[in-house]
Chain A
Amino acid sequence: MDFGPYILLASLEGAVTAAVLALTAVGLSLVFGVMRVVNIAHGEFFMLGAVIAWWVAQSMGGHPAVGFAAALVIAPLAVAAIAVAADMTILKRLDYDPERTIVATIGLLYIIQQVTLMTYGPDARPVEAPFDTRLAIPWIERGEGGWQLYWPWGLGTTSYKLAVIGAAGAVLIGVWLLMSRTRIGLVMRATQMDRDMALAFAIPVEKVYALVFGLGAGLAALGAVLIVPIQQAHYLMGADPLLLSFIVVIIGGLGSLPGTVLAAVFIGLSDGIISVFFSPTLAKILATLLVGMVLVFRPQGLFGSRAA
């Protein structure tokens, strides 16, 4: 049997992981970049996105696409609202002190997780994908009549998985446009570069922080809504995205959005490929090892600039 088709399959699976990871990690990176807050509860915002998506899809009824479309809008907005509330009631009162916000977001992690356990319960529940056509993976082979396409038996992906990759790409382009082309992006970048001078030029820094924290959490939730038809919603599902997001953000360079996206693609793809051929645990071990190497040899990350 040929090796090629399996590599292609593993890369596609990895690309789905990478797409969702990129959304989640960009959310974490934005929050750290602008607010200098290390948000340990980021994975729980991801989990909340999935759980709320299940809840919305469940209560809508009708064609699965209707429920999913509603979840795609409602879940990220609801999670963003929760995050904004957490920012204004907790982080703001700690003056965004780097150490104290770490402890506070650890507390937030457990509160969100346990409240979900108490209300949603310990079950893993699926959300039906809006469309789920099976697509066979084609491969080219040199046959008797020269190069020809064929479909190796049993290897396939779904149209939904391809859509996830496309949707994540579109959202990431949207985030990039927001940061580089709009006034609110300009204000966010100015706040990131020099908080005091932003204040001295009438930028309402507290509102910017609330917005960024909401946006970061909303991106994680959006990633979760996209993955929940593939993975199911569960109250402990936030741990892996949190770990992987930190890995990606550290490798990509804290606060560097392009670096974060590139690192997400790299980690997602290698995670997919290593998981298919060896084991998912080995994939995590190698990723964590890579973080260690990056921290030793290039602490500012592969694409980050050293803080002045």
Chain B
Amino acid sequence: MLEIDAIDAGYGRAQVLRQLSLTVRSGEILCLLGRNGAGKTTTMKAVMGLLPLMGGKVTLDGTETSSLPPHEVPRTGIGYIPQGRRLFSGLTVAQNLEIGMRARRSPPQTREQVLELFPRLRERLGQQANTLSGGEQQMLATARALCLRPKALLLDEPTEGLQPTMIEAIRQVIVKMRETGVAVLLVEQRVDAVLSVADRVAFIENGRNGETLPAEALRADHSIVERYVGV
């Protein structure tokens, strides 16, 4: 279970997150919805320790990760799939996966399991990451994070700019991760894509918590979504 407990964070003196709290249970997909600039990506960076917290704490299964140096945060079992993929672009597919494997010294079977989820990557192991198509790059970014055997997975707009078949493939993997008991925190702009996979939806507004609702409630009543993300 990933718990974000009243965190304050920001860039330099500009505070973005104010007393933000979220709880993602194991085997649950929590979707974070909000307008541009509401602090969704900032939340993920703060969880990863890439932004220093000004207050509050983050715990994973009871271990406080926010007191660790940034490179030890992923070792507790948090996989991060950032916006724009951020692959190690000059490295090959295999090398990108190796970096994921080494983060928590995963056994070799993990790599096999991940490659079974993404057979396309197996055909391209020797290829440089920046020569892959957009969808394949997203698969690699996801595969890299899964190589770390995550207990919690942070996905920042994983379907941005992808064609529908790719979106479906990524979605299936997210659902599979939920089945194996991973806590999934998902940031997504496309509300319809979210509602079909999410268990709960948390709204974020100006860096503060909005309502957190079960996804069914939103499927039944779309007006709440309009209030937070409508223009």
On A, residues with C-beta under 8 Å from B are: 183, 186-187, 189-190, 193-194, 196-206, 308
Select from chain B the residue with minimum beta-carbon distance to A195: B50
8 chain-A/chain-B pairs, Cβ below 8 angstroms: A187-B99, A190-B95, A199-B74, A201-B144, A202-B75, A203-B99, A206-B71, A308-B89
Shortest distance from the beta carbon of A101 to any chain B beta carbon, whole Å: 19
CA A132 to CA B183, docked complex, whole Å: 69
Q: Does B118 contact A (CB under 8 A)?
A: no
Main secondary structure of the interface of A (DSSP, over half): helix
Shortest distance from the beta carbon of B77 to any chain A beta carbon, whole Å: 10
Q: Which of A193, A201, A206 contacts B74 (CB 8 A)?
A: A201
Given contacts A199-B70, A199-B71, contact A193 B48 (CB under 8 A): no
Q: Does B103 contact A (CB under 8 A)?
A: yes
Is the pair B89, A202 in contact by a Cβ cutoff of 8 Å? no
Is the pair B48, A200 in contact by a Cβ cutoff of 8 Å? yes
Q: Which residues of chain A have C-beta atoms less than 8 A from B90's C-beta? A: 189, 193
Q: Which of B86, B98, B99, B100 neighbours the largest number of chain A CB atoms within 10 Å of its CB?
A: B99
Is the pair A193, B89 in contact by a Cβ cutoff of 8 Å? yes
Is the pair A202, B86 in contact by a Cβ cutoff of 8 Å? no
Q: Which residues of chain B have C-beta atoms less than 8 A from A189's C-beta? A: 88, 90-91
Q: Does B135 contact A (CB under 8 A)?
A: no
What mask results when residues 42 to 55 of chain B are scored 1 for a CB within 8 Å of chain A, else 0? 00010011100000
CA A186 to CA B80, docked complex, whole Å: 20
CA A199 to CA B90, docked complex, whole Å: 17
Q: Which residues of chain A have C-beta atoms less than 8 A from B88's C-beta? A: 189-190, 193-194, 197
What mask results when residues 67 to 111 of chain B are scored 1 for a CB within 8 Å of chain A, else 0? 000111111000010100011111100010011101110000000
Is the pair B86, A197 in contact by a Cβ cutoff of 8 Å? yes
Q: Does B148 contact A (CB under 8 A)?
A: yes
CA A190 to CA B86, docked complex, whole Å: 11
Closest 9 CB pairs between A and B? A202-B103, A199-B70, A202-B74, A200-B80, A201-B103, A190-B88, A193-B88, A204-B71, A197-B86
On B, residues with C-beta under 8 Å from A are: 45, 48-50, 70-75, 80, 82, 86-91, 95, 98-100, 102-104, 144, 148
Shortest distance from the beta carbon of A17 to any chain B beta carbon, whole Å: 31
Shortest distance from the beta carbon of A157 to any chain B beta carbon, whole Å: 40
Select from chain B the residue with minimum beta-carbon distance to A193: B88
Given contacts A199-B48, A199-B50, A203-B99, contact A190 B74 (CB under 8 A): no
Is the pair A183, B102 in contact by a Cβ cutoff of 8 Å? yes
Given contacts A193-B90, A200-B82, contact A186 B99 (CB under 8 A): yes
Is the pair B80, A202 in contact by a Cβ cutoff of 8 Å? no
Select from chain B the residue with minimum beta-carbon distance to A183: B102
Select from chain B the residue with minimum beta-carbon distance to A204: B71
Given contacts A186-B99, A196-B50, contact A202 B71 (CB under 8 A): yes
Q: Which residues of chain B have C-beta atoms less than 8 A from A187's C-beta? A: 99
Q: Which residues of chain A have C-beta atoms less than 8 A from B89's C-beta? A: 193, 308
Q: Which of A183, A193, A205, A308 contacts B71 (CB 8 A)?
A: A205
Is the pair B86, A199 in contact by a Cβ cutoff of 8 Å? no
- Assuming A189-B90, A202-B104, what are 14 further A-B pairs, CB within 8 angstroms? A186-B98, A190-B91, A190-B99, A196-B50, A197-B82, A199-B71, A200-B50, A201-B103, A201-B144, A202-B102, A202-B148, A204-B71, A205-B70, A308-B89
Q: Which residues of chain A have C-beta atoms less than 8 A from B91's C-beta? A: 186, 189-190, 193
Select from chain A the residue with minimum beta-carbon distance to B76: A202
CA A197 to CA B70, docked complex, whole Å: 11
Select from chain A the residue with minimum beta-carbon distance to B78: A200
Q: Which residues of chain B have C-beta atoms less than 8 A from A201's C-beta? A: 74, 99-100, 102-103, 144, 148
Shortest distance from the beta carbon of B96 to any chain A beta carbon, whole Å: 8
Q: Which residues of chain A have C-beta atoms less than 8 A from B74's C-beta? A: 199-202
CA A194 to CA B144, docked complex, whole Å: 14
Select from chain B the residue with minimum beta-carbon distance to A192: B90
Select from chain A the residue with minimum beta-carbon distance to B90: A193
Q: Which of A189, A197, A206 neighbours the largest number of chain B CB atoms within 10 Å of its CB?
A: A197
CA A181 to CA B67, docked complex, whole Å: 35
CA A206 to CA B49, docked complex, whole Å: 14
Select from chain A the residue with minimum beta-carbon distance to B72: A202
CA A196 to CA B74, docked complex, whole Å: 12
Q: Which of A183, A190, A199, A204 contacts B49 (CB 8 A)?
A: A199
Shortest distance from the beta carbon of B82 to any chain A beta carbon, whole Å: 7
CA A176 to CA B70, docked complex, whole Å: 29
Shortest distance from the beta carbon of B25 to any chain A beta carbon, whole Å: 23
